[in-house]
Structure 1
Amino acid sequence: MSRTPLARAVALAALGTCLTLPTLAQAEFIKDSKASIEARNFYFNRDFREGAGQAKQEEWAQGFLLRLESGFTEGTVGFGVDALGSLGLKLDSGDGTAGTGLLNPDRSGGSQDNYGDLGLTAKAKVAESVLKVGTLQLKNQAIGSSDSRLLPQVFRGGNLVSKDIAGLTLDAGYLDEVNNRNSQDYEDMTLNTYALSGITFKGGNSANLSNEFIFAGGSYKLTDSLTGGYYYSNLEDMYKQHSVNLVHVLPLAENQSLKTDLRYARSSDDGLSNVDNKAFGAMLTYALSGHSLGLGYQKMSGDTGFAYVGGTDPFLVNYVQIGNFAAKDETSWQARYDFNFAAIGIPGLTFMTRYLSGDNIDRPGATDGTEWERNTDIAYVIQDGALKNLGVKWRNATMRNNFSRDIDENRLIVSYTLPLL
């Protein structure tokens, strides 16, 4: 595992905090502490439906996540420390089926037997403002750590979140390295490139490296039913982005509502890329008891597709299991249905299915690109008894297009979370 000067400094700061606790008022530090261990058993199968190239990606792995989160010491400034330990173990992989993203790749084109990391985070709190420095998992309009494989993606840096003003959340951060979900080493960040994004780099693809990502923004509850958000972000040398979000929930009657989620982002280059994109998205969701019916629309315009940090989850309404529907000039639609079986007396059981279609994709020298994707998720979490918190999820996807490989995909995830504190 690599250790940089900043990582060592964070570890020493966390250790120093622990060593000085006996001299500090630490009742809240102990009382508010949380700890859990999560076991994830993950089977992934991606079947490519044409003869050329790798026929399929198929791997089976076991993961463990240990999460420790302290409270804060008493006083005007409270101090604390968090830790995230991760371990991934190969159960089955080989014969040319590696590449699922579950496991750390080796130099021969296969996967390593195991990988893992220990991330430490020092934190300080004043009133309702919290500063964290070290290992971070982030989820906001500017950047979203991906957690869709065996182990989560994490970043190294600092993050300040303030909720001192009622209804207002302010959020700012600086990141310099990423530890991706199938890696145990921190490395420079990249700008994500994907099929027909149209994104290029001055100096070629080798120039696609950055060791600085900054963001600042937040959200404000304008009324009881309307929340607005704005973020500015910059991946140094790669892109700059302004992102706006409005979410409105309209109660219609008992157990009925209409949710409107509007998103707009303007991305431009920052010197070494050609990024130029306007992304608009809208999602309307009608909920009735346990049922939800959603309709989504997403439109890309400009000289490239949407810009976001490699490996992260982009803030797009039509980003789904396989595709992001964010290619250059792409227009896409989504129809989605969810049902929560708690409405009929089966808590813990949920179902989701959706269909997306995209077209008008710019294909240089060819007809417009088109694509569609269908997803189905079925999940159940045991609610009580000896197996409480044991979850089983099956995720199925079908992807077809006229510019890349056709895919059938299945993921089976069995997880169990054991609270320790």
Structure 2
Amino acid sequence: MSKSPLALSVALATLGSLTLPSIGQAAFVEDGKASLELRNFYMNRDFRQEGGNRGQAKAEEWAQGFLLRYESGYTEGTVGFGVDAIGTLGLKLDSGGGTSGTGLLQRDRESGEAQDSYGDLGVTAKLKVSNSVLKAGSLMPKLPSVAANDSRLLPQSFQGGWLNVQEIAGLTLDAGQLSRVNQRDSSDHEAMLMTTGTGRGFTGTTGVDSDEFNFAGASYKWNDRLTTAYHYGALDDFYKQHILSAVHLLPLGDKQSLKSDLRFARSTDDGDTNVDNKAFGAMFTYSLGGHAFGLGYQQMSGDTGYAYIAGTDPFLVNYVQIGDFAFKDEKSWQARYDYNFASLGIPGLTFMTRYLSGDNVDRGAGLSEGKEWERDTDIAYVFQEGPLKNFGIKWRNATVRSNFGNDLDENRLILSYLLPLW
């Protein structure tokens, strides 16, 4: 019998008392840390096109999440051993009447309605030699080749192994393999899929899944201003991908700088798919005091759109709140503005707004050119001191219009609190 989400979280809460004393290593215990994160998440997605999204006028849900994390130190000696763990629990506060499907809650496979609760227990064994760390178990990588998504109530995670090497100053090497994925609105560990959908031009993906994603990469920080990187990812039976990137920060004077973020990816087919894509992206951000002004451009070329593991965050400059602007032959640009109110003596308060427009999407023979646009606004505040320290409030708003996808207006209200336990 499988454990309930609550039982899994309770099991993680008792992990320290059951495991740590048996280790008998001071560094393992003293260097460890634990925290409890609370997330209260309301989301409303209003479908504006005639007929809604396959008959659904809106998706609206409210949920409470709990994330209990533990990271141990390492045992003493040349080879250090440790363990990390995360227990997650999501509770439904409001959902029903055909409004499920926001990605906040796990849905029943038969009815499609949100379940009352869901969660997972992830444990990771780790081994450290010098500045090299090998992890096996539950992983949440944040790499150009694969980035776990954490934009809903609970985070996406993977099962696999990951080696991170930092033996040479400035050089970071990564390599590993993933076998299963637990999506952000699920408690099931499943085989991986590739993102698909109208306008991407993929074939050969129907009925196919994969239990093998191999990745490797190298990042080198030349100095405080320039970092370059190469990463490789291959989802068995779907695609192979090479990614080049460079980030440069140019100081321009007192509280002024220009940041350049350049990215290029080449994706090709594997198995019976037709994946063939070149993705170029550039983002330039000028900062002046608390202000930041950004301009971005992204272009897709080849026989298909950009390929990545379904549910993950793609490494694209124009991947934003709703869209990724990565359809076949799409060209898109972005204008963005950020302001940090710490410049006015209000630390913790931030504002962001951006507008993106994409066109030239190849929708197939006989169909007109695909076009879309998106407008996003974020306002967030995190208390910096006092009894509410680490309590955060964020409102996220988005508007999307497209002649080949959903038209929607979306609002998210997120309350979060991080409580360090030790």
TM range (shorter): over 0.9
Equivalent position of 1:82 in the other structure: 84
* Offset from partner CA, 1:217-257 (integer Å, 9 cap, x none): 02001233111010111000100000000000001101110
Equivalent residues of 1:2, 1:186 under 8 A apart: no
What are the Cα deviations for residues 293-346 of structure 1, in whole angstroms up to 9, with x where unaligned?
A: 000000000000000000000000000000000000000000000001111100
State percent identity of aligned pairs: 66
SS of equivalent to 2:98: coil
Residue of structure 1 aligned with 2:69, choices 62, 67, 70: 67
- The answer to whether residue 418 in structure 2 is matched with residue 412 in structure 1 is no
Q: Once superposed, what is the RMSD of the aligned Cα atoms?
A: 1.6
Q: Equivalent residue for 2:277? A: 277
Number of equivalent positions: 406
In the other structure, the counterpart of 1:101 is 103
2:347 equivalent to 1:373 = no
Letter of the aligned partner of 1:306 in structure 2? Y
Alignment of 1:106-117 (within 5 A): 106=108, 107-117=110-120
What stretches of structure 1 of length at least 5 have no aligned partner?
A: 4-10
Normalised to the residue count of structure 1, the TM-score between the two structures is 0.94
Decide whether the 8 Å contact of 2:198 with 2:363 is kept in 1. no
Task: Determine helix, strand or coil for the equivalent of 1:206.
Answer: coil
Paired residue for 2:32? 33
Residue in 1 that maps onto 2:299: 299
Matched, 1:331 2:331: yes
Partner amino acid, structure 2, of 1:94: G
Partner AA of 1:89 in structure 2: L
The amino acid across from 1:29 in the alignment is: F
Kept in 2: contact 1:242–1:265 (CA 8 A): yes
Matches within 5 A, 1:9-408: 22=22, 26-52=25-51, 53-106=55-108, 107-201=110-204, 205-207=206-208, 209-364=209-364, 365-408=366-409
Give me the whole-angstrom Cα distance separating, in 1, the residues matched to 2:258 and 2:201: 36
Alignment partners' CA distance in 2, 1:71 and 1:356: 44
Deviating beyond 2 angstroms after TM superposition, the runs of 4 or more aligned structure 1 residues are 18-24
1:83-112 deviations in whole A, cap 9, x for unaligned?
000000000001110100000001202110
How many Å separate the matches in 2 of 1:21 and 1:241? 45
How far the C-alpha of 1:194 sits from its partner, in A, is 2.8
Within 1, Cα distance between the matches of 2:311 and 2:223? 35
Query: What amino acid maps onto 1:137 in structure 2?
Result: M
Q: CA deviation at 1:272?
A: 2.2
Provide the secondary structure at the position in 1 that maps to 2:396. strand
Separation of aligned partners in 1, 2:218 and 2:354: 30
Q: Distance in 2 between matches of 1:358 and 1:391?
A: 33
TM-score normalized by structure 2?
0.94
- Offset at residue 28 of structure 1 (A): 1.4
Cα pair 1:2 1:185 within 8 Å, conserved: no
One-letter amino acid of the counterpart of residue 245, structure 1: S
Paired residue type of 1:362: D
Once the 2 structures are TM-superposed, how far is the Cα of residue 23 of structure 1 from its aligned partner?
6.2
CA distance in 2, matches of 1:78, 1:250: 40
Please name the residue that 1:7 is paired with. Answer: none
What is the CA distance between 1:21 and its match in structure 2? 6.4
Which runs of 5 or more residues in structure 2 are unaligned? 4-10
Mapped to 2, the partners of 1:420 and 1:105 lie a distance apart of 32
The offset of 1:271, in angstroms, is 1.5
